[in-house]
Structure 1
């Protein structure tokens, strides 16, 4: 495919609300009831992303000061202890004393207890508060922040990942030396949530991958599928072992993934040259898997996308399976996948079921190929699907149900957004919201992953939406997640590089203006599934109505304010946003500089016209046209994307208005 994107959604049972702005229809299926939490004095709580299953205020905030004890049991991973300790220190603790359960630190002003939901560290406190016992489901946790005379924070979880996610939620409840008095009962609605590096063009660098894995830990994403199309050892040279230097980088990524509770899924794409009936090729495939299994990988994927079934790669396959066809290709792939599942996966301890990208990876239509796989593929093999098209306009419950019937199993969504490696995405930075994925899809899919852009840091905008959606699809709100991405990129991070809890409001606003200019999201034929610059379009429509209605002063004042916001956004982003995001976005920021100047010049021209100064108006319109021409000459970074060309943003909105404004 031009680009593969997968979003894994899996059932975990949550209740949902109505349809949020930009989202899909409300779920039609029944979900398990929302946990009932004890309630204290009401007050606003900070937004937590991903949205928890259940969260409300249970009492006063907790002050973090002086000496704090951090009580941990054996379930808690060292990296989680480190995260909790740094969080408390940054929040205001003069000293954090880490200890095992037992005698408490007498002069501690706050006790933080994290560990096994049923262990002595957590269970009694949660039960005394009237909390339901934390779920036994993987990655679930319960959190309680108790203010008052005895300040106490308790996190109980089902496993080490759940403990870590509880601390990540605690991070987002912290502001200005206080932790909000919240109660949370939480678990993911999908067991597989993350990204697949499956695009064409320049692969991510090692540093970008390490940064992504840290981001997944922040956002409770647990899956990274390593499948870069332009890694020769993934595809063309799949039989050959990775050279020592490249293998060393893989080992570093495997370790970083584990440290962030992310499943490093190793994908191999042998379809361009494999001989299905040759035992040597099957052995080579399993040998490649064995090498990374020995390095710690327990999740594997075989990608058979973007190949043809109109010819075989060897004469042996023609003898065994007959003439090339959909049916014979399906049979050959079934034999390969079943062999790998039974001979490798089932004989290697702790290995997850094999994942598979089929040659027919989209739509809901039956075929001889799908029939062969439906009838014979091992039931444990996880099959990926991109929706009703390679780049779908939406993903609905009905789509997932129909596709599941055709394939005979729940499917794992490979969502081709925000990938920008196909012709219609040329010149675009896709930072619109993650939208038009229907609430409740977790009940009909086995998981969801997003295929990102070559621009790794800029992909975090859509990845934040995917994280929010796949954690709690029933309550998903695209606009809420979109703003959360801006807040994260504006400083709401907690890392070794930038410890802190607050996003800079001016930077958030600038990012949202910039995101709007780059809202347009095309399907494969170039038509939009998300239209261009909706907020800018709203402002222009408002201007036109006021201008034509005779209130020209109000029209110019309103449009000038937003034009100034556009013109000022690039500098605000360069000064205050994540440095990697700024680097990824630089060509689009340069274009925004010029388009903002063009819009301001046009407003000046209209102002001059309103004042009866037509020569001044014409001069300003000419100045605007020059800025617009220069903006149109800015190009994407050579070699970074599969598709190269002029930078495009807000086209069909801003350029049209600038052309038409001199005639108003």
Structure 2
């Protein structure tokens, strides 16, 4: 029977510039209002979280963590602090262990009682699981000697897949039962779908522990930075909720734009059985966009694709498919729909002109600018198709329409952001191979030639080419 997930929240766990303190505090308030109950601080590019983990946080930084913990507690959100020492820690060395504990004690002192030992994204080696389990066991005991209720979650080095491996077997055997939460990302890093059977398989590989899902959506770090993931949470059926200890969504580099997808995830996590992605998405756009809901919705429809949603399912792609199904001039209704859709995206680019300091508008600006260029090319293509639909289009006017398409299309392709689907994109599709070792699913990793505006421009130019190749009664005018 699907039930609300026990742990429902966000892990700020991406590579790239960490969020500002104000953005982080605002996010905690945002998720608390939507019945989420967990936030974990784990930005990979905070040097003192990972690369220079031995260095203590200064007084100013420690004060921010104190404020985070207070804000979280006031909203019923549990604040978790992650540290990622795996790049160079000596797991059994007393000095490194003491340094690790010393780093965490100031957090205990301000009331933080949930810690995450993140040992992901490091090279594998024989005996690694044994060393990691030993460190985790020691750390939990050390924390509980100072705070009885302290809780420790582990991010293992192997965190993708559905098959048992020697590493996972050793980890399950050596990890103390008190460390119940071990994180997992699904069958790959950014999993398009995750089902109950996969979660059960992973639990079996970990000695029966229900996984805590580190869900890499809507994250857009690394090779995904050119994209915004503004679509709803999907691909997680209701029955999955029974097999998980909880879900922590990894957000985008853009904290305010992330709220669209996170609001929909909150709806799923609170009530998986009744979750409706379309309804939740519409509600999220209204709540997050406020007075700018309409332009936000237009851009979101153009940036809905990503790891959980194929570009071909974008509204723009569906419209182009309908146009292609018509005659050379296209279908009138489909052309009208295209004009409406692309005009809305083009107009969205100036929607925040009256609010230049709005943080959401500032985050969206590169994609609004790209959307305007893409929409201009699409509208030029629509104009050419409408012109060709006339009984005998005038030749000079046709040429002007063709030049409008090629120049606008060239400008759109010069942009560096993804809107209306990728021209070339790479996703971190690391998977388990049949023998349990890590590999890359090339089909999931590489996405190319899937932009709806490219399709529409090619369609219009092909229609023009076919028209000019026809014999014309009375010759050319």
Shorter-normalised TM-score: what interval?
Answer: 0.7 to 0.9
Of 163, 169, 172, the residue aligned with 1:374 is 172
Q: Which runs of 4+ in 1 moved over 6 A?
A: none
Q: Does 1:517 align with 2:316?
A: no
Residue equivalent to 1:540: 320
Tell me by how many angstroms 1:273 deviates.
1.4
Asked whether the equivalents of residues 219 and 464 of structure 1 are also in contact (C-alpha less than 8 Å), the reply is yes
Q: Larger deviation: 288-297 or 236-245?
A: 236-245
1:365 partnered with 2:163: yes
1:573 Cα deviation from its structure 2 partner: 5.8
Residues 555 and 336 of structure 1: CA distance in aligned 2, closer, same or farther (over 3 Å): closer
- CA change 1:608–1:264 in 2 (3 A) is same
Give the TM-score taking structure 2 as reference length: 0.84
Q: Is the 8 A contact 2:44 2:50 kept in 1?
A: yes
- Distance in 1 of aligned mates of 2:326 and 2:88: 64
CA deviations 1:383-417 (Å, max 9, x no partner) are: 00010111212110010011111112111000111
> Residues 372 and 649 of structure 1: is their aligned pair in 2 closer, same or farther, counting only changes over 3 Å?
closer
Matched ranges for 1:254-265 at <5 A: 254-265=69-80
Deviations, residues 77-129 of structure 1 (Å, cap 9, x unaligned): xxxxxxxxxxxxxxxxxxxxxxxxxxxxxxxxxxxxxxxxxxxxxxxxxxxxx
The CA deviation string for residues 307-327 of structure 1, in whole angstroms up to 9 with x for no partner, is 1233xxxxxxxxxxxxxx0xx
Provide the aligned length of Structure 1 versus Structure 2. 434
Partner of 1:418: 218
* Two-structure CA RMSD over aligned residues (Å): 2.7
Which aligned pairs between 1:136-285 and structure 2 lie closer than 5 A?
189-285=4-100
Q: Which residue of 142, 149, 165 corresponds with 1:343?
A: 142
- The structure-2 alpha-carbon separation of the partners of 1:619 and 1:276, relative to structure 1 and needing over 3 Å to count, comes to same
Note the alpha carbon deviations across 1:126-171, whole angstroms, 9 max, x for none. Answer: xxxxxxxxxxxxxxxxxxxxxxxxxxxxxxxxxxxxxxxxxxxxxx
Partner of 1:73: none
Question: In structure 1, what is the Cα distance between the partners aligned to 2:87 and 2:211?
Answer: 24
- Alpha carbons of structure 1 residues 281 and 568: separation in structure 2 relative to 1, 3 Å: same
Structure 2 unaligned blocks of 5 or more: 419-423, 427-446, 464-477
The CA deviation at 1:455 is 1.1
**Are 1:533 and 1:650, in contact at CA under 8 Å, matched by a contact in 2?**
no
Q: Which of 326, 337, 346 is matched with 1:558 structurally?
A: 337
Residue matched to 1:432: 231
2:381 pairs with 602, 622, 633, which one?
A: 602
Tell me if 1:630 matches 2:415.
no
Structure 2 Cα separation of the partners of residues 278 and 478 of structure 1: 49
Report how far residue 249 of structure 1 moved.
2.1
User: How far apart, CA to CA, are the structure 2 residues paired with 1:357 and 1:631?
Assistant: 41
| 3-state secondary structure, aligned to 1:395 | coil
Match of 1:5 in 2: none
Matches of 1:373 and 1:428 in 2, distance apart? 36
Deviations 1:202-245 (A, max 9, x none): 11111211221121122221111111111111112222210122
SS of the residue aligned with 2:245? strand
Work out which of the residue numbers 615, 620, 625 in structure 1 matches 2:401: 620
Contact kept? 1:490, 1:577, Cα under 8 Å: no
2:337 and 2:266 map into 1 onto residues whose CA distance is 35
C-alpha separation in 2, matches of 1:563 and 1:634: 17
2:11 and 2:39 in contact (8 A); partners too: yes
Q: Which has the higher helix share?
A: 2
CA displacement at 1:346 relative to structure 2: 6.0
TM-aligned CA distance change 1:601 to 1:463, over 3 Å: same
TM-score by length of 1: 0.62
